[in-house]
Amino acid sequence: MIIVIRPHTPPEQVEEVIREVAQLGYTPNPIRGDFQTVVAAIGDETTHASLESLTALPQVERVLRVQKRYKLASRESRPEGTIVHAGGVEIGGRDFVVMAGPCSVESEEQLMATARAVKAAGAVILRGGAYKPRTSPYEFQGLGPEGLRLLADARRETGLGIVTEVLSERDVEFVAGTADILQIGARNAQNFQLLVACARSGKPVLLKRGMSMRIEEWLLAAEYLLAHGNPNVILCERGIRTFENYTRNTLDLAAVAIAKQETHLPVVVDPSQGCGRADLVKVLCRGAIAVGADGLIVEVHPNPAEALSDGQQQLDPPAFAALVADLEPYLQAGGRSLARQR
């Protein structure tokens, strides 16, 4: 770390900083410039205490971190990349994985119709929320266990893998009994207790980026999963919150490229949440492929206008089939092909 001392600080106060740096386990290395002094603190920033607390001293202007804060998630720790095996497919390899299904599981009829349609169109994993995090307590909260039962039925009939969100530590084991991939939603991306519980379940985890999470924080949330023993982590970019209001979120496609570069983990994109508008989903899927995503997770509903949640961003089955067909040339351009079920 670099500790920047304020200009005109008397030498004895610089010495105080140097002593504190040593006290906190780093080797201090002062560099005296014409205007101000900086102290370079040599040591492993992840294992020692953070020196940011030193800004509590009046003579310290700022503390700058040098080292990356994630280790297990970093590309360096596994240069060849991670392939997650889930639901009969490989995520993070050469093949491009399409996950699709309704925002919420609403009924047997709705789920089965969607499952058959997305399978026919080329999806290999079925998404569907049984437990729904909703902004208002008066909105549909999901079917819960009944929703999971319907997802298991859909897998039995179609062979699709299942990805579904878990909201509560208490439900992790139960949801893991059905899901092939546990989804951690944007609102829970820094619910560290839930992260640890999901890590321990042994199931692959799809970790959405939080609404106001910097990339570094997102990768540190993945680090929680890895550090608690679960190597099967899939990152999911789903848009960040900005001032723009033509879209629900601002899909940050540069973050996909950065996550691929900084980590060894597969990265997928959720274009439905990413813009909150059905009419933009197709072009954002193309964009996701172009920046190097490993897959997509797309919301599909037999009748979006009557969906119990987020109808405005769900595609109907014909639009979804057209979307998947449309992706082919972009996949080819990137030297990839659609993952098929085995």
Helical ranges in 130-270 per DSSP H:
145-158, 172-176, 192-201, 215-227, 253-262
Distance in Å, CB of 131 to its own copies, minimum: 9
Answer yes or no whether residue 112 interacts with its own copies by CB under 8 A. Answer: no
- Whether the CB-CB separation of 278 and 234 falls below 8 Å is answered with no
Q: How far apart are CA 38 and CA 291, in angstroms?
A: 39
Please give the size of the binding site for its own copies, defined by CB under 8 A: 112
Chain residues 243-272 in contact with its own copies, contact rule CB under 8 A: 243-247, 250-255, 257-258, 261
Closer to its own copies by Cβ: residue 157 or 279: 279
- Whether the CB-CB separation of 157 and 115 falls below 8 Å is answered with yes
Task: Write out the H or E segment, with its range, that includes residue 125.
Answer: strand 125-127
Answer yes or no whether residue 304 interacts with its own copies by CB under 8 A. Answer: yes
Select the span of 37-45, 108-116, 146-154, 229-237 touching its own copies (CB under 8 A): 37-45
Select the span of 86-94, 110-118, 120-128, 311-319 touching its own copies (CB under 8 A): 311-319
Chain residues 126-145 in contact with its own copies, contact rule CB under 8 A: 133-140
Written as one string, the DSSP assignment of 35-104 is: S-EEEEEES-TTTSPPSGGGGGSTTEEEEE--S-S-STTBGGG-TT---EEETTEEESSSEEEEEEE-SB
Answer yes or no whether residue 290 interacts with its own copies by CB under 8 A. Answer: yes
Of the candidates 341, 342, 318, 337, the residue with the CA atom closest to the CA atom of residue 93: 337
Distance in Å, CB of 294 to its own copies, minimum: 14
Q: According to CB under 8 A, which one of 10, 35, 156, 342 is a site residue for its own copies?
A: 35
Q: According to CB under 8 A, which one of 22, 94, 157, 192 is a site residue for its own copies?
A: 192
Q: According to CB under 8 A, which one of 95, 165, 294, 310 is a site residue for its own copies?
A: 310
β-partners of residue 127 are 163
Answer yes or no whether residue 212 interacts with its own copies by CB under 8 A. Answer: yes
Answer yes or no whether residue 91 interacts with its own copies by CB under 8 A. Answer: no
Chain residues 152-191 in contact with its own copies, contact rule CB under 8 A: 167-170, 187-188, 190-191
- The burial class, CB within 10 Å (0-12 / 13-18 / 19+), for 43 is middle
β-partners of residue 299 are 101
Answer yes or no whether residue 113 interacts with its own copies by CB under 8 A. Answer: no
How is residue 275 written in tokens?
A: 């813009």
Answer yes or no whether residue 306 interacts with its own copies by CB under 8 A. Answer: yes
Select the span of 119-127, 151-159, 200-208, 305-313 touching its own copies (CB under 8 A): 305-313
Distance in Å, CB of 325 to its own copies, minimum: 13
Q: How far apart are CA 255 and CA 267, in angstroms?
A: 10
Answer yes or no whether residue 338 interacts with its own copies by CB under 8 A. Answer: no
Answer yes or no whether residue 228 interacts with its own copies by CB under 8 A. Answer: yes
